[in-house]
Structure 1
Amino acid sequence: ILQLAAWPGEEKRLMSAIYKVAGLALPDGAGGGVANGVRAAFGFAPGKFTVVDEAEGLAAAFCGVVTPDVGTVTDLSHGRTAIRIAGPKAEWVLAKFFAIDFALTAFPVGAGRSTTHHDVFAQIQRSGGD
Structure 2
Amino acid sequence: MAKDMETLSACPLDRVWSAGHFGGPDATGVTLRRSFAGSLVQLSLFPGQQEKALAKLKKPGITALPDDGTAHFGTPHSSYALGGGRYLLESAAANLEQKLQAAIVADIGSVTDLSSARTILILAGPDVETVLSKGVAMDFNAQSFPIGTVAQTTAHHMPLMMVRSKADEFRLFAFSSYAQSTLHWLETACHDHGFERL
TM-score of the superposition, structure 1-length normalised?
A: 0.82
Q: How many residues were matched structurally?
A: 129
Task: Please report how far the alpha carbon of residue 122 of structure 1 lies from its aligned counterpart in structure 2 after TM superposition.
Answer: 0.7
Q: How does 1:11-90 map to 2 (within 5 A)?
A: 11-15=50-54, 21-23=60-62, 25-28=64-67, 30-36=68-74, 39-90=77-128
**Deviation beyond 4 Å, 4+ runs, structure 1:** 15-20
AA partner of residue 166 (structure 2): G
SS in 2 for 1:93: helix
Task: Please report how far the alpha carbon of residue 43 of structure 1 lies from its aligned counterpart in structure 2 after TM superposition.
Answer: 1.2
Distance change >3 Å, CA 25–CA 88, structure 1 → 2: farther
Distance change >3 Å, CA 94–CA 84, structure 1 → 2: same
CA distance in structure 2 between the partners assigned to 1:13 and 1:76 by the alignment: 23
8 Å contact 1:97–1:117 — kept in the other structure?
yes
Quick check: which one's helix share is greater? 2
Quick check: which one's strand share is greater? 2
Q: In structure 1, which of residues 120, 127, 130 is the aligned counterpart of residue 165 of structure 2?
A: 127
Q: Which protein has greater RCO, CA pairs closer than 8 Å, 6+ apart?
A: 2
CA distance in structure 2 between the partners assigned to 1:85 and 1:44 by the alignment: 21
SS in 2 for 1:114: strand
Task: Please report how far the alpha carbon of residue 102 of structure 1 lies from its aligned counterpart in structure 2 after TM superposition.
Answer: 1.4
Distance change >3 Å, CA 103–CA 62, structure 1 → 2: same
Structure 2's unaligned 5+ residue stretches are 1-39, 169-198
The reply to whether residue 118 of structure 1 matches residue 156 of structure 2 is: yes
Paired position in structure 2 for 1:10: 49
Distance change >3 Å, CA 101–CA 89, structure 1 → 2: same
TM-score of the superposition, structure 2-length normalised?
A: 0.57
CA distance in structure 1 between the partners assigned to 2:53 and 2:121 by the alignment: 25
SS in 2 for 1:64: helix
Higher-Rg member (1/2): 2
What's the Cα RMSD here?
2.3
CA distance in structure 1 between the partners assigned to 2:153 and 2:63 by the alignment: 23
